[in-house]
Amino acid sequence: MTHTDNTEIARVITLLSEMCDLIGLKTFVGRKTRHGRKPGPSAWHYTAAYLQEYSPATKLEDVVQLFEGLGIANEIRACVWLTIHDELVP
Domain residues of the chain, as ranges? 6-88
Report which DSSP code applies to 56: T
The pLDDT value given to residue 5: 86
**Average pLDDT score over residue span 15-40:** 97
List, as one string, the DSSP characters of 28-44: HHHHHTTTTTS--SSTT
- Binning pLDDT at 50, 70 and 90, where does residue 1 land? very low
Residue 22 CB neighbours (<10 A): 19
Q: What is the pLDDT of residues 33-87, one digit of tens each?
A: 999 999 999 999 999 999 999 999 999 999 999 999 999 999 999 999 999 999 9
pTM of structure: 0.91
